[in-house]
Amino acid sequence: MMPAKTVSSTRGAPGILWIANVLMYVQAVASLFVATVQLIQVVQLVRHGQDVPGLQYVGTVVDPLVAVALLISATFLVSKRSWARPLAFVVEAIGIMEGGLNMLSGHVQPVAAILIAVVVIVLLTRPPVGDWIAGRTVV
Q: What is the mean pLDDT of residues 53-65?
A: 80
Please, which residues have CB within 8 angstroms of residue 103's CB and are 6 or more apart in sequence?
Answer: 110, 111, 114
pTM: 0.82
pLDDT of residue 70: 93
Q: CA 92 to CA 96: how far, in whole Å?
A: 6
Higher pLDDT, 120 or 37: 120
pLDDT in tens, 75-100: 999 888 889 999 999 999 998 998 88
Q: CA 101 to CA 13: how far, in whole Å?
A: 35
pLDDT band with cut points at 50, 70 and 90 for residue 59: confident
Q: What is the mean pLDDT of residues 5-18?
A: 68
CB neighbour burial string for 7-30, b if at least 16 within 10 angstroms, e if fewer: eeeeeebbebbeebbebbeebbeb
Provide the mean pLDDT of the chain: 84
pLDDT of residue 139: 58
With a pLDDT cut of 70, the percent of the chain lying above it is 90
Radius of gyration (C-alpha) of the chain in whole angstroms: 18
Contact 105, 115 (CB under 8 A): no
pLDDT of residue 9: 54
pLDDT in tens, 104-130: 877 777 889 999 999 999 999 999 998
